[in-house]
Structure 1
């Protein structure tokens, strides 16, 4: 177990576990899922300029020609090797060599060194958006009511996978180029230990979610609902099903992340997670690098 240098933000049952260990478990589960992008082969890899590199347990992914400028990410650092100017320099050199136009360093606040401001200034890392990282134990969630049919997506069903991807594209307003980003998301559905889920209105797929099992952690991602179907309980039901399946898979914890709303505003995804028993672990700013 990692030595505890935690900030004491845990509440309820979470105080019984060293929070720094929870940080490590949650961050590495997310990083490992994201590194699945680096394993994509063929025309999608070539068309989007996908490359990846591990730096110990940390990972860096470059999607050079990503039209959304979202998927080039560095994360999972600070657990087997301290975050130093040397380490950040190595990752920056990876992005320079890959021709990456923009990359996002997602670093848990507890792993940042005392001289982080000097390091980030030296490499031109600017503060970007902030997400809230949340965790909960794998105890069941009360069944949530919805008029939609909720269940796992058959990854061998190309029509359902295509509809799952399209719902993501529409819900998040993602741009695409030659259909390559859609094909990348479809490939992610085939990552081992990742299970896509959906909500259907009759035969129409209208809501999505995903669960990635990484050891004792289930990472919850990809929550999206078509605008006209929001407010019908799809995401609450999808959370409950993923918790149930994570428990069956032997997970002890579930983790997730979602955007931190601006002062006076709400993020419905954050509200859904908190209602389902997820507790805020920390706020994680993203640090943006450009060559």
Structure 2
């Protein structure tokens, strides 16, 4: 594929994943995420949480949309959105327009891709299980622990648990000596997949947990007919290195612009 093909595919599957993340969120009030096409852009807007830069984003904004900038911003009356900028739209005119409205480049993410192959898992002493209906609440407890003791109610669990064992959203738990060590997800959309939600508990880092989970998820993706898997990482991070070792290559580096 050409470079812009990867950009378009990633933008599409990333919006689908954002919809799912909104639906499964462990929050007191269910998210009301809207995905609104507006000219050449896509607006993500959460009516329950106007301050979230993840759930309130403008994607696909470029030079052809400059005249509509005020109209786009009017869709976010409570708080300014985040502009999720891919490099082919990041021109000098766009940058100046965003700066004039009080936006600054605040964060970047590297988006990667791989055409996966089944991998032979080496004996590591790790136990990797896919989350099932029976273990969904256990997995939610891992999520709660990873978030520093997030308060999770029975209503939140009842509303979210079914998302963690869907056939298009595979979640994995890696244990060491029977204790929670690491976890990650594989989202599926047709022949595309997306690795997400990678987390290793601090006491188990630098022991190969994520590399083992990446191999397992890529192997499972191949078994389901997936031809391309995408992910996003902080550039230069340990996760970036893990993905590169597994064969991932850079698709593009995007920039999040937020209001000062």
**Pair 1:200–1:42, CA change in 2 (3 A):** closer
Match of 2:189 in 1: 214
> Is the CA contact 2:113–2:248 (under 8 Å) kept in the aligned structure 1?
yes
> Is the CA contact 1:83–1:113 (under 8 Å) kept in the aligned structure 2?
no
> Is the CA contact 2:58–2:81 (under 8 Å) kept in the aligned structure 1?
no
Match of 1:241 in 2: 216
Match of 2:101 in 1: 123
1:87-166 matches, within 5 Å, as 88-96=69-77, 99-100=78-79, 103-113=81-91, 115-166=93-144
What is the Cα deviation at residue 119 of structure 1? Answer: 2.6
Q: What is the aligned counterpart of 1:230 among 186, 205, 215? A: 205
Q: What is the aligned counterpart of 1:85 among 54, 66, 83? A: 66
Cα distance per residue 1:253-288 (max 9 Å; x no partner): 111111124xxxxx1111100000001122212111
Unaligned runs of 5+ in 1: 1-16, 262-266
1:27-46 matches, within 5 Å, as 27-39=11-23, 44-45=28-29
Which secondary structure state, in structure 2, belongs to the residue aligned with residue 224 of structure 1? strand
> Is the CA contact 1:218–1:254 (under 8 Å) kept in the aligned structure 2?
yes
Q: What is the aligned counterpart of 2:55 among 50, 63, 72? A: 72
Match of 1:264 in 2: none
Which secondary structure state, in structure 2, belongs to the residue aligned with residue 166 of structure 1? helix
> Is the CA contact 1:146–1:234 (under 8 Å) kept in the aligned structure 2?
no
User: So what's the TM-score if we normalise by structure 2?
Assistant: 0.82
Tell me, in whole angstroms, the C-alpha distance in 1 between the residues paired with 2:85 and 2:122.
Answer: 33
Tell me, in whole angstroms, the C-alpha distance in 1 between the residues paired with 2:220 and 2:42.
Answer: 27
Tell me, in whole angstroms, the C-alpha distance in 2 between the residues paired with 1:123 and 1:286.
Answer: 15
What is the Cα deviation at residue 224 of structure 1? Answer: 0.4
Q: What is the aligned counterpart of 2:35 among 30, 53, 58? A: 53
CA RMSD of aligned residues (A): 3.4
Which secondary structure state, in structure 2, belongs to the residue aligned with residue 84 of structure 1? helix
**Pair 1:178–1:136, CA change in 2 (3 A):** closer
Tell me, in whole angstroms, the C-alpha distance in 1 between the residues paired with 2:163 and 2:68.
Answer: 28
Match of 1:280 in 2: 250
> Is the CA contact 1:144–1:233 (under 8 Å) kept in the aligned structure 2?
no
What is the Cα deviation at residue 37 of structure 1? Answer: 4.2
Match of 1:14 in 2: none
Tell me, in whole angstroms, the C-alpha distance in 2 between the residues paired with 1:82 and 1:187.
Answer: 41
Match of 1:253 in 2: 228
> Is the CA contact 2:172–2:183 (under 8 Å) kept in the aligned structure 1?
yes
Match of 2:10 in 1: 26
Which secondary structure state, in structure 2, belongs to the residue aligned with residue 269 of structure 1? helix
What is the Cα deviation at residue 95 of structure 1? Answer: 2.2
> Is the CA contact 1:136–1:278 (under 8 Å) kept in the aligned structure 2?
yes
Tell me, in whole angstroms, the C-alpha distance in 2 between the residues paired with 1:84 and 1:289.
Answer: 18
What is the Cα deviation at residue 177 of structure 1? Answer: 6.9
